[in-house]
Structure 1
């Protein structure tokens, strides 16, 4: 059975499950609950880690060097049991290593670490993917945290996402979970997007490039979450219309494009590690009431 690890300081308490190294709750000292609770009426996820793909593969099948492998949306890491490696009052690190079961669907010797740490009002999640095999290893990686919408104490207030770079990144729509080859005008105006559930009537808002490395999700004259992203060039925003959460998803890798090659190495923004190499990905979020 999965077990939870708790990290905390004077400002925040975070619970992380061994299943998927997935956060289960984020609570502030005033009792505010900031992370989605996983209500199955909408979506059972809370903050899954996406590996070795982000998004869908055509017919849920990847090709690696021409050989087909079954692969569910967002990969298998979120359904795997991680092992706790280190733990302190304010940080913990989980690890997932290749096994016979993972090699049957992803034939590489990998090591994935996921560390959660607290510093005052800032939570940082850092992941490292290592190639411990002899062959080049392609993969996608991403984070999928879901935060309360409305934010604690901000019921009835407009909520916005504001890009620090002031950008108006083009959207790449999804068609049955795969990326359309067309891009559509940005819903952002001078870096600002006023959130509305109808924006998500046709699935997630995916911005493959141009969203920058930081943004703020906030309620008008209310609480805010300030994000920074490291080595995560793609951004998606998602909810199920009517659901009380917003996913802020930084990625390095996206779903396959419609009609494109099923090869993993050909998916947009795929990383490839040579033998012995490692790659780091991180995001931080600062909570302000």
Structure 2
């Protein structure tokens, strides 16, 4: 049976489920709700952790290190029961260790830890991947949090995503769930993008390169959130047209390319971790107003 841990400080309260180590709610002290509630009318996810791959594999068959097995989009961590390793008033750590079931589809010995912590008005979600195997371990890791759109108290206001680096990164789209090799003109202008539901009629907007280490998500005149990314070079934005959420998705690794290599090692930005090493990935979301 899944259970939920609550962490909090004077500004924020966060609920995290043992199923997928997935955040269920982010609430500010004024009662504002900042994370999507998982209404099945649109999407049951809220903040899934993507591992050991991001996106889809060709024909939903993951090929890695000569091994092939069926794997659903975004990997198995989001559907796995994690163990609560530690918790305090302002932090909790869930862990998922390799098992016979995981090795049947992803043949490596690993430990995935997901840590949620609050400090001031900021939430940090970190993932630590440890290779417990005796050989290099390729994988993808991503975050997929759905934030409210509109933000609390910002109904009928335009919402903007603004990149800290002011860039205009090239856009790619999905073809049958796989990354199109065709690069499209950036929808960002001097780092700024006013989001509109029509932008998502062709599924997610994916920016494999150049989105930078942080961004601001805000409504005209407030409220506002600032995001900082650690070891997460890829960015996607996604919603279902008409749904009241916007997923801000920093990744290390993408879906397989359409027409490209069909093994995990050949995917763009796949991380390869040496035996015995640990890699950390995180995002921090700070509520500014």
Fold conserved (TM > 0.5)?
yes
Report what 1:2 is aligned to. 2
The answer on whether the counterparts of 2:67 and 2:107 sit within 8 Å (CA) in structure 1 is: no
Describe the superposition over 1:117-152 as per-residue Cα deviations: whole angstroms up to 9, x where unpaired. 000100001111000011211000000000000000
Deviation at 1:67, TM superposition (A): 2.8
Report what 2:232 is aligned to. 232
Report what 2:274 is aligned to. 274
Whole-angstrom CA distance in 1 between matches of 2:229 and 2:19:
24
SS of residue in 2 equivalent to 1:104: helix
1:82 aligns with 2:82: yes
The answer on whether the counterparts of 2:20 and 2:49 sit within 8 Å (CA) in structure 1 is: yes
Deviation at 1:219, TM superposition (A): 0.2
SS of residue in 2 equivalent to 1:86: strand
Whole-angstrom CA distance in 1 between matches of 2:14 and 2:67:
41
Report what 2:221 is aligned to. 221
Whole-angstrom CA distance in 2 between matches of 1:9 and 1:236:
30
Whole-angstrom CA distance in 2 between matches of 1:42 and 1:104:
32
Whole-angstrom CA distance in 1 between matches of 2:240 and 2:234:
20
Report what 2:94 is aligned to. 94
Report what 1:61 is aligned to. 61
Describe the superposition over 1:166-223 as per-residue Cα deviations: whole angstroms up to 9, x where unpaired. 0000001111110001000000000000010000000000000000000000000010
Deviation at 1:66, TM superposition (A): 3.0
Aligned residues: 289
SS of residue in 1 equivalent to 2:105: coil
Describe the superposition over 1:82-112 as per-residue Cα deviations: whole angstroms up to 9, x where unpaired. 0001100000000000000000000000000
Whole-angstrom CA distance in 2 between matches of 1:84 and 1:180:
39
Whole-angstrom CA distance in 1 between matches of 2:65 and 2:215:
38
Deviation at 1:64, TM superposition (A): 1.7
Deviation at 1:65, TM superposition (A): 2.7
Deviation at 1:288, TM superposition (A): 2.2
1:146 aligns with 2:146: yes
Report what 1:13 is aligned to. 13
Report what 2:50 is aligned to. 50
Describe the superposition over 1:229-255 as per-residue Cα deviations: whole angstroms up to 9, x where unpaired. 000000000000000000000000000
Deviation at 1:61, TM superposition (A): 0.5
Whole-angstrom CA distance in 1 between matches of 2:267 and 2:72:
15
Deviation at 1:24, TM superposition (A): 0.2
Whole-angstrom CA distance in 1 between matches of 2:73 and 2:128:
21
Whole-angstrom CA distance in 1 between matches of 2:271 and 2:93:
23
Whole-angstrom CA distance in 1 between matches of 2:116 and 2:197:
30
* More deviation, 80-89/60-69: 60-69
Report what 2:117 is aligned to. 117
Report what 1:206 is aligned to. 206
Deviation at 1:25, TM superposition (A): 0.4
Report what 2:176 is aligned to. 176
SS of residue in 1 equivalent to 2:69: strand
Deviation at 1:70, TM superposition (A): 1.1
SS of residue in 2 equivalent to 1:186: coil
Report what 2:286 is aligned to. 286
- Unaligned runs of at least 5 residues, structure 2: none
SS of residue in 1 equivalent to 2:117: strand
So what's the TM-score if we normalise by structure 2?
0.99
Q: Which runs of 4+ in 1 moved over 3 A?
A: none
